[in-house]
Structure 1
């Protein structure tokens, strides 16, 4: 089958350019892929430039960059919305050296102190966006918090949980706890496996599912985990299903989700689970504490420390209390869809773009 032709557009029709200069799929790339169609549906006129993006997204050719010297139709300036250093730097060249009428926006998801080079680049931006309050606290320039949102059409509860399990070849009479994402130490896949090895022998009605890819660099790490599972005799109850293109279907089949990361910039997996009606046990990294409600309106549990013991204790509370688990799942849907919609994210960015456009005039 021939590849889908890339949807190239005339830069004169575009008000916002979202560069993606990293070939390998990452969280940033995933954000662009999910957000740009929503922005255009809402009339924001956004196009992408760079490799590794689906052909159906509106693209600008590198050969057409010279057209950015001209103002866009119905606008004073364009916005160059970077999300990495390698995208901020070309924006500076286009604006400050080539003198193109551009405003530069940078979105930061980092939760660590920036390097001197990154701080310099960020200081030259016209606007800076933080994806969470925690990220905002690491920035030394004025910024606006616009949290990531979730696609409610893609991530939604199962109409029939039994049918959702059967479609994926999972036993409908069993309950399933999942851990989705790249298989590596940073993502805490080993914490999840260790917790399941301790929990599952006394809970025969539960099965664990690990969905995600281990790159070549982390293949030995994955093999070690699989060996550990076989040694525990749980290879039929801790399933490594690999990378899945229909991950939304896998969320709908779950009864509980674990986000065991040791470090995370933002972390969408808890939101994806919550939007699918699945309560979450998560480590206190990324934006997880801002996403997951605890206490009276509980949608899950945020661990006080990152350890197998803490994960076992928290997970057992939800595994063993069906009423609490179902109530948390219902509240998770309301919270994810009501507070973290992707349309809300797009509108938050639009307000920043509009302000810069007015300033450019």
Structure 2
């Protein structure tokens, strides 16, 4: 298909910090789709695995030195972004997460069409004075976002309740449904704490029921709540095992809480084998916008148990709510839901099948990419047209 010459194509500048977890995957997926559709894409981020993966896609990557949280270096971060924007002259800026949204909007200040995507509100993460300041900033900074993209209706409602008056659009998260798909169940690791992968050794006898939790080891993801619930799970299902997939700042503290049946994998390059090895996937988050891990698990045909935070209900088929959602910060309710599903193989199979169909119809990343492309076309107006092939080319 014919594309405009490179000079006539609009340039989109993505700003990303953090550069791991769900934010990084969203930026990678959008960049892949936009490059394939003929856009010129530049991503400014603080290096790391995200930068390396983006370069493999052929994106223009600029090293933006920025910390994960606001601090004394903010003025320099904003200044470096302003210089980069003056150099690139992008048609549109898309800032991902609270930190990039803070620095990006301060650097642009309405000079360029700007999209801000919070990926969960910053003020939901902290309390006290810090939370109040974060909320106050989001109220003020909304004037410098032409659109605020929320990944769930619940996330949008949280922003509105907090007094963040913005031009909102809700575009649910999506996943690569070809990558995250059912497949053969890998053999389980030979013993907790071995560090081996899911295919490390043969099964002997009936496999022990396996629960998997995929996510950064941090307060947001609530693994400490799951570990407090795990004693009750093991009491009800004595052979149950739990694997925490991922790494993060809370790893040492979580290890101190862990039952002997709990394994830590550390960071992994590919989470798909762990989803396929699981009987049940659990994400006990304290806050989210719409987490990717449950969608990935459902894509692999695995049932999930989630805390009822923003985006959780919208991630699931309606019939899942009674069985698969529990209140946040409630170890007893979490243990009851996990133990109940571990004890009912046929129900798990049915939920996994329903979840896979739901993700295919509602959370395919190609749909997400096309809705973002449509938003760009709306904001750019009579500027060079944003191509509409994102939906077809996300997997290319």
TM range (shorter): 0.7 to 0.9
Return the alpha-carbon distance in structure 1 between the equivalents of residues 374 and 15 of structure 2.
20
Q: TM-score, normalised by structure 2?
A: 0.74
Q: Distance in 2 between matches of 1:306 and 1:87?
A: 28
Partner of 1:261: 285
CA gap 1:88/1:305 in 2 versus in 1, 3 angstroms: closer
Change over 3 Å in CA distance of 1:175–1:220 after alignment to 2:
closer
Residue correspondence of structure 1 range 298-309 to structure 2 within 5 A: 301-304=324-327, 306-309=329-332
Superposed CA deviations along residues 289-327 of structure 1, whole A, max 9, x for unmatched, are 1112242x6795111453111011111221111111100
Q: For 1:115, what is the secondary structure of its paired residue? A: helix
Gapped regions of structure 2 (runs ≥ 5): 1-5, 64-82, 125-131, 190-197, 385-396
The answer to whether the 8 Å contact 1:178/1:256 transfers is: yes
The 5-angstrom pairing of residues 110-259 of structure 1 reads: 110-111=120-121, 112=124, 115-137=135-157, 138-139=159-160, 140-158=165-183, 160-162=184-186, 167-169=199-201, 171=203, 173-215=207-249, 218-226=250-258, 229=259, 235=260, 237-259=261-283
Aligned partner (choices 67, 85, 94) of residue 81 of structure 1:
94
Q: Secondary structure at the match of 2:372?
A: helix
1:285: which partner in 2?
Answer: 309
Whole-angstrom CA distance in 2 between matches of 1:294 and 1:319: 21
Unaligned runs of 5+ in 1: 1-9, 70-76, 230-234
1:346 to 1:19, Cα distance in 2 relative to 1, 3 A? same
- The answer on whether the counterparts of 2:145 and 2:166 sit within 8 Å (CA) in structure 1 is no
| Structure 1 residue 143: Cα displacement | 0.9
Contact 1:80-1:91 at 8 Å conserved across structures: no
Q: Take 1:349 and 1:130, find their aligned partners in 2: how far apart are those partners?
A: 11
Tell me, yes or no, if the aligned pair for 1:82 and 1:106 is still in contact at 8 Å. Answer: yes
TM-score by length of 1: 0.80
- Give the alignment partner of residue 40 of structure 1, picking from 30, 35, 38: 35
Bigger Cα displacement from structure 2, 51-60 vs 329-338: 51-60
Q: C-alpha separation between the residues in 2 aligned to 1:351 and 1:47?
A: 19
* C-alpha distance in structure 2 between counterparts of 1:290 and 1:167, whole Å: 33
Deviations 1:214-245 (A, max 9, x none): 32xx344123223xx2xxxxx2x321222211
Partner of 1:5: none
Specify the SS of the correspondent of 1:221: helix
**May I ask how many residue pairs the two structures share in their alignment?**
328
The equivalent position to 2:374 in structure 1, one of 351, 356, 359, is: 351
Cα distance per residue 1:156-187 (max 9 Å; x no partner): 111x2255876144747333111111223432
Q: Distance in 1 between matches of 2:335 and 2:109?
A: 52
**Residues 93, 189 of structure 1: alpha-carbon distance in 2 compared, 3 angstrom cutoff:** closer
Distance 1:66 1:124, change over 3 A: closer
Does residue 311 (structure 1) correspond to residue 345 (structure 2)? The answer is: no
| RMSD across aligned positions (CA) | 2.9
Q: How many Å separate the matches in 1 of 2:292 and 2:177?
A: 13
Cα distance, 1:27 vs structure 2: 3.2
The structural deviation recorded for 1:329 is 0.3
Q: CA deviation at 1:352?
A: 0.6
